[in-house]
Chain A
Amino acid sequence: MKETKTDLLQGTLDLLVLKALALGPLHGLGVSTRIEQITKGTFQVKPGSLFPALHRMEEAGWLQSSWGESENNRRAKYYRLSRAGQRQLETETQEWKRIAVAIASALRAT
């Protein structure tokens, strides 16, 4: 079993979860698989950080949940983005881009 290669920056997880769910509703395992796929294996989210994040974001009104059937007939809780979640994704994307540019220029300056 491989270790997480990169520690998640504070706030990055939310953005990744929102991004993962922007493509469609997923259950918990689906979210962590999707994040692994879209980051090409850089980030691997463990249940210990995934579930608190999902519940916190649901509480904040960004996610909505409902119970459904998984691909192999297991009962699973599915999450999807709410309208507020979509807006949050846009805000955080902008924010992230701003930070990324700032960090990149800061690194270049030295």
Chain B
Amino acid sequence: MPLLSRAFSFWRNLSRKAQVDQELDEELRSYVEMLTDEKVQRGMRAEEARRSSLIEVGGIEQVKEQVREVRMGATMATFLRDVRYGARSLARSPGFTAVALLTLALGIGANTAIFSVVNAVLLRPLPFPGSGELVVVRDENGKTGETFPSVSPADFFDWKSQSRSFASLAAYSGWSVTLLDSDRPEMIPATRVTDEFFNTLRVQPLLGRTFRSDEFKADGNVVILSYRLWQRRFGGDPNVVGKTLAVEGGDITVVGVMPPEFKLPATAEAWTPVAQDSGEMHLRAARYFETVARLKPNVAPSQAEAEMRTIAARLASQYPESDSNWSVLIEPLRETLVGDVRPALLILFGAVGLVLLIACGNVANLVLARATTRHKELAIRASLGASRWHITRQLITESLMLTCTGGALGALLAQWCVGAIVWLVPKGLRFPRIEEAHVDTAVLGFTFAVALLAGAVLGLITGMKASRADLHESLKEGGRSATAGWRVQRARGAMVVAEIALTLVLLAGAGLLIKSLMRLQHVELGFNPEKLLAVPVGASMSKYAQPESRAAYFERLAAQVQAEPGVQSVATASCPPMMYTMYFPFAIEGRANPNEVPQAWYNAVSPNYFSLMGIGLLEGREFTDHDRAGASNAAVINETMRRRYFAGEDPVGKHLTVNYLNTPMSLEVVGVVKDIKQESLAAQANAQIYVSYLQVPWFSTTLIIRTENDPGALIPSVQRAISSVDPTQAGSGAKTMEQLLSDSAAQPRFYSLLLGVFAALALLLAAVGIYGVISYAVAQRTHEIGVRMALGAQRRDVLKLVIGQGMILVLAGTIIGLGAAFALTRVMKSLLYEVGATDPATFVGVTALLALVALLACLLPARRATKVDPIMVLRHE
């Protein structure tokens, strides 16, 4: 195959220098040997012959050097000549060049943008040294199959003392610190960490130090600031280390500032030590410690998991009331941080890949169309002595010039797109590491590789078609070519079929996501979200240590806010929907099932919570002002809890025991309310236990305010009201219910938007593709159509003829596309909400949409065909 073996001669010269050198070496050596042989035959002595031969050659190395220079020079010269010729030829058809470049820039740009996200989120290593050894150890409930991101403090310390697989094991847990050092108190999301947290992650502070081992006590009173907080609140003050800050509950000393890239957990603004000597460390049933561990160098995650499972089994038999059915799962830290978004990202990445294929199909169509019109030029070149390889190389060079320029434009476009994507992305924990996405060298390398690949494929397709064409025929045919390029036309048809099929796959995917988003946004909430404002407030542990004082404080807060103008009514809840959830284990009194520890959502609410939210009462009663300390503990449960645990019984009057922070708390069920969407729009309802905050106040609460007008406008006055009750307390992080609901749908909305844009782009490209092919076919068949019309064909017949030609391609593409979509959309299952992966209505809908757009794309050239004047056509004969 001389053509193929020479096709990459430039590449070979650059990359396989060693082999080329070796061949040259061998060639020269055999020359010397043969010369020597010749001299020996003429009667010279062997040794003398060899010496004289070497002298004659005059330095093998110099000869080699000269050859090398010549080779590189010739290749470069040919290459530059091809580039110049290509540039001239592309400049001669600016319309073609502009359309091709735009198409490629869109395709490559979209790929580059999504790849920068994939690179930042999935590929780039986590910003911790030796991050491959970092794992998360988490609880898994063998009974319900649910995995918890967390473990109880007591179990954690048992794991730590009993396991041998880890170089270190650390835990952390979110809480908040209220800063009082300015006139407006501010609640900062903080994270409490155990002693090995920072050295497990091997991070060094930017300023100061991490915690000393003697600081993990109740009176540790030290804090490490995040870079963000340091910049925002302390203006990047280099002397911040050593400063004492007034916080709610005492003073606290800054010992360090972390570097900007350190974000574990993502929301943390400050880190404080866990008091490892406190009674809290003996809690075993409440699972709220998240873990991170570094494996010992030669320990595989599976080995560590096996060891941890043995330990968990031991703990389960030792503490059955809290640990039975609980086992352990180990996964890489990366998985915990980005595992949730991986499927969606890969689907988006696949989708832009399809868009690029469609874009390449369109450009190949354009290039093929141009190749047919360039037939004569190429035939003339061939007759003047250009070899097939020459012409193919020229076409490949032109394709590469197109795709590389398109790639460069695409990279510019991507720069802008990445900014847009990052801006669009739901904020906070939902999309980890996205803010790191940008177009960097790795991404540009990817873009370049894509451009090269696209260029090579384009060039080969067109080059093969063009060089196969019979030179004789194209010269002979002259101007009129009724049947010329029939083979090219067929290739273009195949390309359109493929484009239609790919577009249908994308449309089906986008259609499913959009339908599922619509389902999600119209889901039955179980409460009335209009004009609701949620304002979280904490209660000082020192001032309000007693439950009674805490309840009284929350009551005063509610009363104060109620007095603000514009407030209709105020309720409180420890866990307002879409904001927080809390789980506690419970048992039903009088039922012996020691092997089951069911968990329920727990929520301490005010008596008017149900009426304010509009949560329907199914039986029994709501809480009243009499459900407070001193009266017997009351509980309201939801309908899921009644269905799951009280089938065929009346739950009202039954008693529950909730494991409340390691102390059993007995509650009497007084009522049953309807289910609400508590955790998120998509999450299924769980069993839920409500208690009265007047009776069992949680450590913090959220004011839920029904307002008369725009709830967002009321935030400042509500905050003022809170400070007027107690100036050392803050109400931060206020959100309207509208915002919370919108946040809960943010991720599906983001995916639908991106996939929708890609599908629309694909549809547009496919329409252009069909339009191009049919227009071209009409132009080629003008003569035939003219003859038909002269013989009596009506407009209708011509329309049918042309549209029929287009719709056959569409039909073939649709059939293939539907098959592919059926096979492919199942990978999206995890992204869909109450929509099947092969939802028939969606499939029918997108097929109809595609067929309609394709029909319009055919209609334009078809109408042109009907305007053919038979007399003109025949006169041209």
Give the interface of A toward B (CB within 8 A).
1, 27-29, 46-48, 51-53, 55-56, 59-61, 64, 70, 72, 74-77, 82-84, 87-88, 91
Does B33 sit at the interface, judged by CB under 8 A? yes
Nearest B residue to A83, CB-CB: B387
Partner of B385, one of A27, A53, A56, A87: A87
B67 touches A77 (CB 8 A): no
B30 touches A48 (CB 8 A): no
B9 touches A48 (CB 8 A): no
A59 touches B74 (CB 8 A): yes
Q: Which 3 residue pairs across A and B have the least CB separation, nearest first?
A: A59-B74, A52-B70, A56-B70
In the complex, what residues of B have CB within 8 A of residue A47's CB? Answer: 28, 31, 56-58, 63
Does B483 sit at the interface, judged by CB under 8 A? no
Partner of B34, one of A1, A29, A59: A29
Nearest A residue to B387, CB-CB: A84
A-B contact pairs, 22 of them (CB 8 A): A28-B31, A29-B35, A46-B57, A47-B31, A47-B58, A48-B58, A48-B59, A48-B66, A51-B28, A51-B63, A51-B66, A53-B70, A55-B24, A55-B67, A59-B70, A59-B75, A60-B74, A61-B389, A77-B23, A77-B26, A77-B27, A91-B385
A27 touches B30 (CB 8 A): yes
The docked-state distance in angstroms from the alpha carbon of A52 to that of B27 is 12
In the complex, what residues of B have CB within 8 A of residue A83's CB? Answer: 387
Looking at B24, B70, B75, the one whose CB has the most chain A CB atoms below 10 A away is B70
Q: A28-B27, A48-B62, A59-B9 are in contact. List 11 more A-B contacts (CB 8 A).
A: A27-B31, A47-B63, A51-B24, A51-B63, A53-B70, A56-B70, A59-B70, A59-B74, A59-B78, A61-B389, A72-B37
Within the complex, the shortest CB–CB distance from B450 to chain A, in Å, comes to 30
In the complex, what residues of B have CB within 8 A of residue A52's CB? Answer: 63, 66-67, 69-70
Give the interface of B toward A (CB within 8 A).
2, 6, 9, 23-24, 26-28, 30-31, 33-35, 37-38, 52, 55-59, 62-63, 66-67, 69-71, 73-75, 78, 385, 387, 389-390
B56 touches A1 (CB 8 A): yes
The docked-state distance in angstroms from the alpha carbon of A74 to that of B389 is 32
Nearest A residue to B386, CB-CB: A84
The number of inter-chain residue pairs (CB within 8 angstroms) is 87
B66 touches A74 (CB 8 A): no
Nearest B residue to A28, CB-CB: B31
Within the complex, the shortest CB–CB distance from B59 to chain A, in Å, comes to 8
Nearest A residue to B62, CB-CB: A48
In the complex, what residues of A have CB within 8 A of residue B38's CB? Answer: 29
In the complex, what residues of A have CB within 8 A of residue B33's CB? Answer: 74
B28 touches A72 (CB 8 A): no
A51 touches B75 (CB 8 A): no
In the complex, what residues of B have CB within 8 A of residue A27's CB? Answer: 30-31, 34
A75 touches B63 (CB 8 A): no
In the complex, what residues of B have CB within 8 A of residue A56's CB? Answer: 70-71, 73-74
The docked-state distance in angstroms from the alpha carbon of A64 to that of B90 is 32
In the complex, what residues of A have CB within 8 A of residue B74's CB? Answer: 55-56, 59-60
Nearest B residue to A91, CB-CB: B385
In the complex, what residues of B have CB within 8 A of residue A87's CB? Answer: 385
In the complex, what residues of B have CB within 8 A of residue A29's CB? Answer: 31, 34-35, 38
Nearest A residue to B385, CB-CB: A87
Nearest A residue to B26, CB-CB: A75
The docked-state distance in angstroms from the alpha carbon of A64 to that of B5 is 11
Nearest A residue to B389, CB-CB: A61
In the complex, what residues of A have CB within 8 A of residue B67's CB? Answer: 51-52, 55
Within the complex, the shortest CB–CB distance from B467 to chain A, in Å, comes to 14
Within the complex, the shortest CB–CB distance from A37 to chain B, in Å, comes to 14
Within the complex, the shortest CB–CB distance from A103 to chain B, in Å, comes to 26
A74 touches B34 (CB 8 A): yes
Within the complex, the shortest CB–CB distance from A77 to chain B, in Å, comes to 5
In the complex, what residues of B have CB within 8 A of residue A46's CB? Answer: 56-58
In the complex, what residues of B have CB within 8 A of residue A76's CB? Answer: 27, 30-31, 34
Within the complex, the shortest CB–CB distance from B781 to chain A, in Å, comes to 37
B63 touches A48 (CB 8 A): yes
The docked-state distance in angstroms from the alpha carbon of A74 to that of B59 is 21
The docked-state distance in angstroms from the alpha carbon of A91 to that of B385 is 10
The docked-state distance in angstroms from the alpha carbon of A72 to that of B37 is 8
In the complex, what residues of B have CB within 8 A of residue A61's CB? Answer: 6, 387, 389-390
Known: A1-B56, A47-B57, A51-B27. A72 touches B34 (CB 8 A): yes
The docked-state distance in angstroms from the alpha carbon of A48 to that of B385 is 30
Nearest B residue to A76, CB-CB: B30
Nearest A residue to B33, CB-CB: A74
